[in-house]
Amino acid sequence: MASRSKAKVVDTFATLHATRLHARAPRYSTRTDTPEEKSESKPSGAPERKPGIQAGRTVMPTTYEIVCYSCGYGFVIRGRAKTTQCPKCGARLGLTDETITGAYTEELITAGRVHLKPTAILEGGKITANDVVLEGTVKSGFVHAYKTLELAKRAKIPEDLFEARSLRIGPGAKFAFNKKLNLRNLELQGELHADVTADGMVSIHAGGFFKGTLEAEHLSVEEGGGLRGDISVRSAATETETVKPESGDATPGETPPKDKTPTSLQDAPPVIRPL
């Protein structure tokens, strides 16, 4: 059995997702205890037969959580596609991922992900996406992330030029905002000074630090992370502290470097519901 690394709360969070994703997925190949019942003879080399988050990983590429940028409704689709239709409002949604590397002044809208590289400069354009990764600079314009806005170490963005459902501060990054942030999830691998209300999960990882006023439903502070300020957690303790025995398998070996490869697993809000 692989060693359990990092904090349990991370496992719990990952397990929640893995369990949820797995619960939605067709049940296959996670248990082979009953060979007489079903023998799906996979082609040799099929990598699916692993427990825990491996099952989630196997399932994950085919399951995407989308938030409609027309009406805000959240839903799940399976499989890759360039567009989809919102089941609630009927809007046709683009799903492409985009990368911006230079000056940008246009309007870009997608239910996929937009990555503004370190050389990217937003100068009057508007970025609307489910997920936005900002490594570059926002001078003017606006960034709206319907799911998660990730701010990397050298990102620059005035606080009045973004709106995000969830916020992630990357390793080594440090941001201070005066405006009150109403978020679903907050994930800190870097530092944030702000007043935050979060109705989802607040995760402070090693190297992460929060300072300010925090009102959260769920809070997890990993060893090496810290916080200071006026903290209020009105959590049902069972939800954040329940660590299922299987969760040890959720992170076999080392914890994946989520700062390098943000995945929809981490991006995903714990509960899908209309905003």
Residue 92 CB, shortest distance to Zn ion, in Å, is: 10
**235 contributes a contact to Zn ion by CB under 5 A:** no
Interatomic CA distance for residues 124 and 126, integer angstroms = 7
Residue 91 CB, shortest distance to Zn ion, in Å, is: 5
According to DSSP, the β-strands at 74-78 and 63-67 are antiparallel
In terms of CB distance, is 90 or 172 closer to Zn ion? 90
In terms of CB distance, is 30 or 70 closer to Zn ion? 70
In terms of CB distance, is 87 or 229 closer to Zn ion? 87
* Chosen residue from 2, 46, 76, 89 binding Zn ion by CB under 5 A: 89
How does 186-213 read in b/e, with b if 16+ C-beta sit within 10 Å?
Answer: bbbbbbbbbbbebebbbbbbbbbbbebe
Residue 93 CB, shortest distance to Zn ion, in Å, is: 8
**120 contributes a contact to Zn ion by CB under 5 A:** no
**71 contributes a contact to Zn ion by CB under 5 A:** yes
* Chosen residue from 16, 59, 68, 116 binding Zn ion by CB under 5 A: 68
**76 contributes a contact to Zn ion by CB under 5 A:** no
**209 contributes a contact to Zn ion by CB under 5 A:** no
Residue 274 CB, shortest distance to Zn ion, in Å, is: 9
**70 contributes a contact to Zn ion by CB under 5 A:** yes
Residue 120 CB, shortest distance to Zn ion, in Å, is: 28
Residue ranges in contact with Zn ion by CB under 5 A: 68, 70-71, 73, 86, 88-89, 91
